[in-house]
Amino acid sequence: MTEDLTLSAVPGEAPPGEHLEPAGALASLPLDGEDDGEEGFTLELDEIGRPRVPDWVAGSEPEDLALALESVCFVLNRPVTVSELSGILGQPSQRVDRAAEALAGQLRGRGLMLQRHRDQVQLVTRPETAWAVQRALSPERPARLSRPALETLAIIAYRQPVTRALIESIRGVNCEAVLESLERRGLIAEIGRASTPGQPRLFGTTLRFLQLVGLERVDQLPPLAGGIGLPEEQERAWSEALAAPQEEEEPAPPGSI
């Protein structure tokens, strides 16, 4: 058995005690912000039907442009480049950069933060709130990184951009399998080629790396007393944070890690 949907009529649109049909009730609502005497939001469209950038945006302060930047990052829910944001907001990249800095400052001390890595930005939750976020999302228990993977990741994080040869010279073992695993997890990526014979790949960390260690920028990594090895406390923190919802790493060939 189904019931007819009835919506209460807007005052003045129908006699008391009567109901409008659903379509009529919706049509009677002041959705355009004009019938109720209140000013609504009017979007001017360009020749291709996209909303125009308001005139006031060009002369706005970084803090004002940061409001629009925050909204865009929120709805996209992914890493976005400064050049892409420049096109969306209709402003030069320099102004978008300043707005991003302003937004990052405004978000400090709150549940969200703006992460920046090279030319990418993304709005994410802070690591201090991970307990609440994980309880809400109920994710599967992730697999942790092995010690060889952590050591390799530490070298890349602190020495990037870095070649495989340099990583292997520091660790003293073949790192091909570990590098493939870190790439597969999205923690490192090729960011260029070295200008040396053979043009070997240059590795660097990714935005996902920042998300998992809970930093806004790579330059916020804790200083090391000497060498590349992580202090015990920091290694423990990385071991807990640097995890992805993949299976445990496949064992590498003997002597490869």
Tokens matching residue 221: 């990594």
Pick 183 or 41 by higher pLDDT: 183
Alpha carbon 71 to its chain's center: 13
Of 18-32, 97-111, 157-171, the range with the lowest mean pLDDT is: 18-32
Domain spans of the chain?
60-128, 143-243
Could you give the CA distance from residue 75 to residue 254 in angstroms, rounded to a whole number? 47
Are the C-beta atoms of 160 and 153 separated by less than 8 Å? no
Give the CATH architecture of domain 143-243: Orthogonal Bundle (1.10)
b/e map of 142-154 (b: 16 or more CB within 10 Å)?
eebbbebbbbbbb
CATH class held by domain 60-128: mainly alpha
231: pLDDT strictly greater than 50: yes
Per residue in 243-257, pLDDT (tens digit) is 444 433 444 444 443
Per residue in 30-75, pLDDT (tens digit) is 544 444 444 556 778 877 888 888 888 988 999 999 999 999 999 9
Specify the residue for token string 């070649």.
163
180: pLDDT strictly greater than 90: yes
Per residue in 78-105, pLDDT (tens digit) is 999 999 999 999 999 999 999 999 999 9
